[in-house]
Chain A
Amino acid sequence: MLNKKDLLGIKELSVEEINLILDTAAGFKDILGRDIKKVPTLRGKTAVNLFFEPSTRTRTSFELAAKRLSTDVINFSVPTSSVVKGESLVDTAMTVQALGADFVIIRHSSSGVPHLLARQLKASVINAGDGTNEHPTQALLDAFTIRENKGQIKNLNIAIIGDIAHSRVAKSNIYSLTKLGARVRLIGPPTLIPKEMTSIGVDIFHDMGTGLKDVDVLMMLRLQIERQGKGFFPSTEEYSKNWCLTLERLSLAKNDVIVMHPGPMNRGIEIVSEIADGPRSVILEQVTNGIAVRMAVMYLLAGVKR
């Protein structure tokens, strides 16, 4: 069991805890392959998806994970809630808890919101993405997918490509993959990679040609097109010319490289369709693994007696 109430970020997890979650997820993945995909493990528990930002895949994945464990799920929809009437975040969360939530799965545009709620709530808070801080379950499902494909994570060369500065997926992956012993490199324009990252023990490249050499795993990030016009890069066209993953660039990596993407993809901007749909892509495996990992997280957090 995880000896904690909440899953706030990978920063807060030890290597042992990460491995425990991944091992537990492997067991749950078997269940997902069965004819009857549901177990009574967490029957009688209630999970609330408290999403303050639009999300389809993460919210659905959490919802399915909870349902597979026989947990009741409520989707708290922000546009129809009291939030639009000016209710404070903490009050909203306290209300959700008073309704009987055991898990509060939170996504918010502001970094640190899960930490704020974790201090206020007795329920387990699971971070489903906070601002530009972390998206821990995405990193866990990514680690799970890499482990399945490569056997282990230690000593792999893993490149994360794109808008690192604004990506909580990248942050969580940097923490988890370095903790698990991979050599992580970041590739992208200097405006989108905070230079402080080098002190966390990663290498920074701005050129795809040199950055992709000898890479075992390629993690593409979604280019947040709404950043255009804010001075981070001149145009999506120029971005693509320099940092889109093309077949030619892919050939610089190792032959058995796997290509990942957390979705949703901008085809033709950061990744070409031939790769996204090609043999090196594990993008759809990531989606399936997400359910198993999220089941594992809920199961392990539920074990803490409070």
Chain B
Amino acid sequence: MKLLIKGGHIIDPSQGINGLGDILIEDGKIKETQMQKSPPPPPLRKGGRRGDNDTKLRTIDATGLIVIPGLIDMHVHLREPGFEHKETIKTGTLAAIKGGFTSICCMPNTNPVNDHASVTEFIIRKASQDGYCFVFPIGAITKGQRGEELAEIGTMRNEGCVAFSDDGQPVMNSLIMRRALEYSKAFDVPIISHCEDLTLSGEGVVNEGLMSATLGLKGIPDEAEQIMVFRDILLADLTGGKIHIAHVSNEGSVNLIRSAKKKGVNVTAETCPHYFSLTEDAVYGYDTNAKVNPPLRTLHDINAIKEGLKDGTIDVIATDHAPHHKDEKLKEFDAAPSGISGLETAFGLSLKLVNEGVLTMKQLIEKMALNPARILQIDKGTLHEGADADIVIIDKKKEYKVNAEKFVSKGKNTPFEGWVLKGTPVVTICKGKIYEW
């Protein structure tokens, strides 16, 4: 198959490309990228076959559209194996494609937990059969995510895990975390930390503040996150291991990461669209779709996170896509599970940062494609010659109204229902297939 994407505005930070041009794809790989130098644009030569009446060449006219490398989401819950009523590898990867993601990383909190190479192997095999996009598993740091004994990090790395995390069950034992950061150096893989001091967050379900007091819900203070951010920064400094801080939600964490980076600690960080789009007010009325961990914070924190994105303190925008079944969210606020189905709204919400002048388009692509690829050391997030043709075409002007019933993800749990977002992927190309929306 040959495909020509013509006349689009190509942005590929990995090669410093930012301008009008054409991309030729052959057999699922990027064959050639040709930029227009000055008007009138010269036609792209297509290996001398032009005029050969090559019916196999398909052309996509991308005039007025933006052509970028497929996005990478390094924080997704695919739920399979074990929780297929919430999501499967098939539905989750299709949601990714629809959201403009061509590579995603799945967290290990499945059943069984991805704490063994056999589970990694299952996920990779299933993803190659059912997956619409590429799937890179994240292995558990400790056996059963119990925080007691290291899992076989090296073996899982060989099987295909690109990072290690106990995610929602953070490693509370500082010695085990230290060992994980030390040991993982042998395999050059990052440790991803969901920063939460469980003894301080306790039974909390929302941000500790005015909203927790008003609604009579137990609060989680910012400090429950910051204590662990600081601990993990210190341990990364001590060991020289790579720490990646997951879903930064508040100002204090941004400040801790900023000063650690200044000091030269090997730390990277991500945030999620909901942490720069919503405040704790979203839970008013006990909307369980706005229940997420860490909890939604305040306007103050939103501004700090935007500042952190802008100055590079926060490297990555990930979704923490956490699909749940409707019945599970239709419960007492205390009993409902945390999480937001985020793959299908992430790009539109993040593009608002460009429209608001917080980020340039190039920076946004870095945070949603190039930086995750670099942190995870995967050959993705680029349009260089010979790379997999993972390409997304964006219509910056197209508006759409968020309607959870139309999500292809099984998880309809979104606090953004009814929001009108501007800018959406209109074409996603992945694994040799073209999806148009």
Contact = CB atoms under 8 A, between A and B. Distances in A.
Q: A and B from one assembly?
A: yes
Interface residues of B, number: 18
Contacts, number: 57
A281 interface: no
Interface stretch (A58-66, A192-200, A243-251, A261-269): A192-200
B209 A115 contact: no
Interface string B310-343: 0000000000000000010011111100000000
A168 B285 contact: no
A131 B214 CA distance: 12
Contact of A132 (B216, B286, B335): B216
B332 A108 contact: yes
B207 to A, nearest CB: 11
Contacts of A270: none
B215 A196 contact: no
Nearest to A134: B216
Contact of B210 (A88, A130, A196): A196
Contact of A115 (B213, B285, B334): B285
B209 A196 contact: yes
B210 A133 contact: no
A116 B332 CA distance: 7
A108 B286 CA distance: 14
A89 B286 contact: no
Instruction: Tell me which of A110, A113, A130 has the highest count of chain B C-beta atoms within 10 A of its own C-beta.
Output: A110
A112 interface: yes
A11 interface: yes
Given A108-B332, A133-B215, A194-B213, A116 B327 contact: no
B282 to A, nearest CB: 14
Interface string B219-230: 000000000000
A110 B213 contact: no
B331 A111 contact: no
Interface string A104-132: 00001011110110000000000000111
B333 A110 contact: yes
Contacts of B285: 115
A122 B97 CA distance: 40
B358 interface: no
Interface in B246-290: 285-286
Nearest to B216: A133
Given A116-B286, A116-B332, A131-B334, A111 B217 contact: yes
A304 interface: no
B337 to A, nearest CB: 14
A197 B209 CA distance: 9
A115 B288 CA distance: 11
A112 B330 contact: no
Given A112-B286, A115-B285, A199-B210, A171 B332 contact: no
Interface in A173-223: 194, 196-197, 199-200
A134 B217 CA distance: 11
Contacts of B214: 11, 196, 200
B286 A111 contact: yes
Nearest to B205: A111
A284 interface: no
A1 interface: no
Interface string B6-49: 00000000000000000000000000000000000000000000
Contacts of A199: 210
A224 to B, nearest CB: 14
A130 B216 contact: yes
A90 interface: yes
Interface residues of A, number: 23
B210 A111 contact: no
A110 B334 contact: yes
Contacts of A111: 215-217, 286, 333-334
Instruction: Tell me which of B213, B217, B218, B327 has the highest count of chain A C-beta atoms within 10 A of its own C-beta.
Output: B213
B213 A112 contact: no
Nearest to B332: A110
Contacts of A200: 213-214
Contact of A131 (B210, B216, B327): B216
A135 B330 CA distance: 23
Given A112-B286, A116-B286, A89 B216 contact: no
A11 B217 CA distance: 15
A158 B212 CA distance: 24
Instruction: Tell me which of B216, B217, B327 has the highest count of chain A C-beta atoms within 10 A of its own C-beta.
Output: B216
Interface in B191-219: 209-210, 212-218
Contacts of A89: 331-332
B384 to A, nearest CB: 51
Given A11-B214, A130-B216, A196-B213, A115 B331 contact: no
B249 to A, nearest CB: 18
A216 B209 CA distance: 30
Interface in B331-361: 331-335
A131 B334 CA distance: 10
Contacts of B331: 88-90, 116
A220 to B, nearest CB: 20
A130 B217 CA distance: 10
A108 B332 CA distance: 9
Instruction: Tell me which of A90, A112, A116, A134 has the highest count of chain B C-beta atoms within 10 A of its own C-beta.
Output: A112
Contact of A90 (B209, B212, B330): B330
A218 B261 CA distance: 54
B178 to A, nearest CB: 28
Contacts of A110: 332-335
Instruction: Tell me which of B212, B218, B285, B332 has the highest count of chain A C-beta atoms within 10 A of its own C-beta.
Output: B332
Instruction: Tell me which of B210, B285, B286 has the highest count of chain A C-beta atoms within 10 A of its own C-beta.
Output: B286
Given A108-B332, A112-B286, 16 more contacts: A88-B327, A89-B332, A90-B331, A110-B333, A110-B334, A111-B216, A111-B333, A112-B215, A112-B332, A112-B333, A115-B285, A116-B332, A116-B333, A132-B218, A194-B213, A200-B214
17 contacts: A11-B214, A89-B331, A89-B332, A111-B286, A111-B334, A112-B215, A112-B333, A116-B330, A131-B216, A132-B216, A132-B218, A168-B216, A194-B212, A196-B209, A196-B213, A197-B213, A200-B213
Interface of A: 11, 88-90, 108, 110-113, 115-116, 130-134, 168, 171, 194, 196-197, 199-200
In the complex, the 6 A-B pairs of residues with the closest C-beta atoms, listed nearest first: A133-B216, A112-B286, A110-B332, A132-B216, A111-B216, A196-B213
